[in-house]
Amino acid sequence: MKPIILLALLTLPFNAHANQWLQFRGPSGSGYTDAALPTEPKVAWELDLPGKGLSSPIVVGDKVFVTASSGPNQDRLHVFCFQAADGANVWERQFWSTGRTMCHDKTAVAAPSPVSDGKRILALFSSNDLFCLDLEGNLLWLRGLTSDYPNASNSLGLASSPVIADGVFIAHVENDSESFAAGISLENGKNLWKKPRTKRANWTSPLVVKAADGKELVALQGSEGVDVVHPATGEVAWRYGEGASTIPSSAVDAEGNLYIPSNGLTAVKAGADGGAEQLWRVGSMRPGTASPLVNDATDRIYVITNANVLSCGDLTDGKRLWRMRLEGPFGACPVANDTHLYACNEKGLVQVIALGEDKGEVVGTLELGEMIQCTPAVSADGVFVRSNGKLWKLQ
């Protein structure tokens, strides 16, 4: 086998599925796509969504899946399946929340993004209701994690988007009262493990991390740092203990190095003794609400600050290469390929930035006219963005 083909196969889970955007922040979990991004985006289609939601769409093959909540108490929970090509409604399932639906006005019960293993859709809501459906909309199992663990909730709302690692669904439910992480069977929804976590509100999302042996681990970020755990058992493989943000999540590269919103931005890798070895730390690269974006192909890392400044850094040493001011504010994480980055602000403005060696330049914009807080999903033929009331496909 030629080396280049072998390399392509080895990187298959991360970047090769242009029609798969199976989780929050895409295949890598860090916002990178190898798909083309339209530089002058236009609306290919739009459709109405009920109620509220800021979860990201996900794309599985030719379908796009979106969650929402509705009703005066936001206790009607929706899972939609649309045709990616034309936005046709393929199916919808509705449920009632079994947990608390109270949350801050700027977030929603449909805040966590759904996740898929390519065969199933797993939709988690801030109410801690969790539904597993197949791609045809058949309900396979469900959980009410607040029904199970009655103080597992956050009165500001939960937002951690789950991941699937090594065939295990990972729920990361950190709050001030009954915090836990759990590995849940994709087959029947039962706990494989459940571990207590720090009692501190936390809105960050787990990341799937490649270990040196090629196996998948899961990074759980919280106020005390990051625990990288084995998905099958929840046992800690290695730990970074110098504190971390509870809003923007970390990013990860293909080698399993983590870029953590901690003391600015801190890059670490697994240490020899179950700890973390620091690669670099740059105080000025502090992410705002949006999580950092890593591009392995170009060795770049991108951060959007609370001052709406997009900074491009060298992935190898964290050195800032250039920065530019965007029009904010930003709740959504950016997505990017090797040449362009999408930044959607809360005013509904999509900004397309050409990523140069020494500067960035806004080369395209699109005004969607509604508050955008979701991180876009990217497929081979379009970009999917949602507001509370709309889902757009951009081309």
Partner 1 sequence: MRFLPFSFFTLAALPLMATELPEPYQEAIETMKAVRNEGAGNEAAAEAWKQVIQGDAGMVVPLLEAMGDANGLASNWLVSAAQAVVDRELGNGNALPLDAIGAFLMDTRQDPDARRLAFEIIERVDPDTAAKLVPGMLSDPSNALRRDAVAGLLAQGKALRDGEKAAGASILYRQALGAARDIDQVEEASKALRELNQEVNLPEHFGFLMHWSVIGPFDNTDRKGFDTVFPPENEIDLDATYDGKGSKVSWSTLTSTDDYGMVDVNKAYGELKEVTAYTYTEYESPTDQPAELRLGCKNAWKIWVNGALIFGRDEYHRGMRIDQYKLPVSLKKGKNTILVKVCQNEQTEDWTVQWQFQLRVCDATGTALLASNRPPSPVADKTPNNS
Per CB under 8 A, residues contacting partner 1 are 71-73, 91-96, 98, 100, 102, 104, 129, 131, 137-144, 147-148, 150-151, 154-156, 175-177, 184-185, 187-191, 199, 201
Distance in angstroms (rounded) separating the CA atoms of residues 216 and 343: 29
Instruction: Locate 377 and state its tokens.
Output: 């999903």
Q: Give, as one character, the DSSP assignment of residue 176.
A: S
CB of 191 to partner 1, least distance (A): 6
Distance in angstroms (rounded) separating the CA atoms of residues 377 and 139: 24
Instruction: Locate 135 and state its tokens.
Output: 């791609």
Please give the single-letter amino acid code of residue 308: N
Q: Which is nearer to partner 1, 1 or 188 (CB)?
A: 188
CB of 377 to partner 1, least distance (A): 24
**371 contact partners, CB below 8 Å, separation of at least 6:** 346, 347, 348, 387, 388
**8 contact partners, CB below 8 Å, separation of at least 6:** 16
H-helix or E-strand containing 9? helix 3-10
Number of helices followed by number of strands (H, E) in the chain: 3, 33
Q: Which is nearer to partner 1, 141 or 280 (CB)?
A: 141
CB of 92 to partner 1, least distance (A): 8
CB of 390 to partner 1, least distance (A): 22
Q: Which is nearer to partner 1, 189 or 348 (CB)?
A: 189
Q: Which is nearer to partner 1, 86 or 255 (CB)?
A: 86
The number of CA neighbours under 13 Å toward the Cβ of 218 is: 27
Q: Which is nearer to partner 1, 2 or 190 (CB)?
A: 190
CB of 200 to partner 1, least distance (A): 11
Q: Which is nearer to partner 1, 134 or 361 (CB)?
A: 134
Q: Which is nearer to partner 1, 83 or 155 (CB)?
A: 155
CB of 158 to partner 1, least distance (A): 11
Distance in angstroms (rounded) separating the CA atoms of residues 231 and 167: 8
Q: Which is nearer to partner 1, 138 or 233 (CB)?
A: 138
Q: Which of 339, 260, 325, 357 is nearest to 295 (CA)?
A: 339
Q: What share of the chain is helix, strand, coil (3-state, %, to 5)?
A: 5, 45, 55
CB of 53 to partner 1, least distance (A): 18
Peptide bond before residue 329 is cis, with ω within 30 degrees of 0: yes
Distance in angstroms (rounded) separating the CA atoms of residues 102 and 207: 26
CB of 83 to partner 1, least distance (A): 15
Residues 311, 320 contacting (CB under 8 angstroms): yes
For the chain, give the number of residues.
Answer: 395
The dihedrals phi and psi of 147, each to the nearest 5 degrees, come to: -65, -40
CB of 175 to partner 1, least distance (A): 7
85 forms bridges with which residues in the sheet? Answer: none
Distance in angstroms (rounded) separating the CA atoms of residues 206 and 183: 12
Q: How far is CA 314 from the centre of its chain?
A: 22
CB of 267 to partner 1, least distance (A): 32
Residues 89, 82 contacting (CB under 8 angstroms): yes
Q: Which is nearer to partner 1, 185 or 308 (CB)?
A: 185
Q: Which is nearer to partner 1, 176 or 242 (CB)?
A: 176
